[in-house]
Structure 1
Amino acid sequence: MYAHRRSYERARHELRRIHEGGGQNRASYEIRRDLIRARTPGPEGAVVASPAAALAPLKGWALQLYLIALFEAQARRPPGFAVDNKRPLLRRNEQLAAWVDLLPAITGTAQRSAGMRRQLVRALTLLRRENLVGLGNPGFKGRYDYFRLMVEAGVPGQRPSAGYTIPQDGEISGIDPAWVRPPGPVSGRSAVVTVPAAFFVNGWVHALSAAEITTYLMLCDLEARYPAVADKGVYANDPQRQRWYGIHRDVYATHRQLAAYGLVERLDAPARRSDGTIRKRPGQQPLQPYWFRTRPDGFEQASFPRVTRCLDLPKADH
């Protein structure tokens, strides 16, 4: 990461230009909760991981690219509007940054543009698999150019005409079937979670891994679901993580990095060490899961120095 620090800074600068020049002056950006909630076909069906959870363990920029596409759309269009994609994969003029410019150029290929295009094609292929973008017909030379952004739910069989629209104020989500999740309070039916603009303009969307982003969004979803207790902390035990989100333990374990970066506050149990291992088991009572509060103000710090400093720490300090 440190070797590519200039690429990270260039990409962060382009995101800041989009935020400041898009005309919407947003303090935060909205992500429909469908991106993080598991897709379960029926009471007898197996849990299908949320689009975010499906992308979390994979290498590459797929999840980050999708979030950047949401950010780019919301920076230039007001609520309720459909969006079109007029941004090319590779830069064609000096006025409009290409998608390749919005991600750090991390490639071993001598020709930077060719290497980054391959990474973009891989990311878009994964997003198409999750029904998060629409592409041109197979075999068409330019099928990846000007991809179409689709809604966060990743609904199979979406028609190309049913593309993404900017969330509207007061948009609410449907009631989850009881066999998926117990009914939450009416106050927890917001259709969206929000991330501060600093998540993008300070480069956190680049600096965090897909697994870290997925874990953070899961905590945001829990806080949106239970707003009355969000300030006291939320938690997700093993059954909830699996059934509600399709998030496995190795992805969830990235809460340690999020806490180290100052993006979440972990409310540790007295019987656990800082790495989560058990110090003692009082009687036969099982330990409670970790409780968390998200720290949106944590994104106000510059991402690159914070992450690289934490990654350089000995493991005992995490």
Structure 2
Amino acid sequence: MHTRVGSHPTNHMRLLGDGEGDGWLNLVASPVETQLGGRNYISDRDKQLRSLQGALRVLSGEGVQLVSLPGFSKPKNKYENFELLDEGGARRGSPELYKVPRSSEAHFVLPCDFFRYGWIHVLDDSEITFLMMLTFLHADLQFDGEEFESDHYVSVSSSERLLHFGMSRDAYEAHWTLRRFGLIDMKPGKGRFPDGRVRGFDPYRNAPLHRFRLLAHGFGRPALGVVHSTLSAIRAEGAH
């Protein structure tokens, strides 16, 4: 958030914080509990640290190449000062360091509230993928800072969804919960019901597409409370 455009962010924060400040462990939500049974005692903090180190190993793997571990060959502190690599992922040759993109470079923007209010921790993979797909499709629109909410709606065909985003039909249904969470709005395609069914379906014609819009203000609420209350309401509806 604070690195200048065109620059590579420098990581000086340790995995474990000290008395003077937070560490990366304070920024990662991991559902672990202290292990008291058996012969070994493992604290929840130790489990979180192992989980974080495991994630960094995966991200630094040859098939991923999203993180560099400059100290991995050392006997200690193998994961400290990790660096972000270019989001293009695995490629031949030496990977490039990540740099904050300039306005003239291809990029898309997620609202900071997506992280600030914990949505990154409570949404599942398909819901996050759907949000990023919509954000990408909105990328040609001009946003001012975090105020990127737009009246424009976007749509995606099944072929584009599969070929460009690798999103299955089941994952596409994530729009249903995202709408209930108040993160997106949808206009059903002409002659279509919200659940996707088509009135007078013709297998030889393309069905009208649903159109979607991101609701930036929806991210400005504590995610855990919103998701908990929404899912409770959905369960109550199903019971009637």
Q: Same fold (TM over 0.5)?
A: yes
Deviation string 1:217-264 (CA, Å, 9 cap, x unpaired) is 11111122477xx73411112210121122223332212121111111
Question: What's the TM-score once normalised by structure 1's chain length?
Answer: 0.61
2:228 maps to amino acid: T
Local SS of the residue matching 2:97: coil
Q: How does 1:217-236 map to 2 (within 5 A)?
A: 217-225=132-140, 231-236=151-156
State how far apart, in whole Å, the 1-side matches of 2:78 and 2:173 are: 37
Tell me, yes or no, if the aligned pair for 2:72 and 2:79 is still in contact at 8 Å.
no
Once the two structures are aligned, what percentage of the paired residues are identical?
A: 27
Shift of 1:119: 1.6
CA apart distance, 1:134: 0.9
1:158-237 maps to which residues of 2 (within 5 A)?
A: 159=94, 162-168=96-102, 170-172=103-105, 191-225=106-140, 231-237=151-157
Report if the CA contact (8 A) 2:13-2:24 is conserved.
yes
Alignment of structure 1 residues 1-318 onto 2, 5 Å: 74-75=1-2, 77-91=3-17, 93-110=18-35, 111-129=43-61, 130-136=64-70, 140-141=74-75, 142-157=77-92, 159=94, 162-168=96-102, 170-172=103-105, 191-225=106-140, 231-269=151-189, 271-276=191-196, 278=197, 280-282=199-201, 285-314=205-234
The structure richer in helix per residue is: 1
User: CA–CA distance in 2 between the matches of 1:103 and 1:148?
Assistant: 17
The CA deviation at 1:82 is: 1.7
Is the radius of gyration larger for structure 1 or structure 2?
2
Equivalenced residue count is 220
TM-score, normalised relative to structure 2 = 0.79
SS in 2 for 1:193: coil
CA distance in 1, matches of 2:179, 2:93: 37
The aligned amino acid for 1:205 is: I
Query: 2: distance between equivalents of 1:137 and 1:281?
Result: 62
**Structure 2 unmatched runs, 5+:** 36-42, 143-149
Cα offset, 1:267, TM superposition: 1.1
Partner of 1:23 in structure 2?
A: none
Q: 1:87 to 1:274 in 2, by over 3 A?
A: same
Change in Cα spacing, 1:315 to 1:85, as seen in structure 2 (3 Å) is: same
Instruction: For residue 229 of structure 2, give the secondary structure of its aligned residue in structure 1.
Output: helix
Does the C-alpha gap of structure 1 residues 156 and 317 become closer, same or farther in structure 2, counting only changes over 3 Å? farther
SS class of match (1:195): coil
CA distance in structure 2 between the partners assigned to 1:305 and 1:265 by the alignment: 20
Mapped to 1, the partners of 2:113 and 2:5 lie a distance apart of 20
Aligned AA for 2:137? Answer: L
Alpha-carbon RMSD? 2.6
- Which 5+ residue runs of structure 1 have no aligned equivalent? 1-73, 173-190
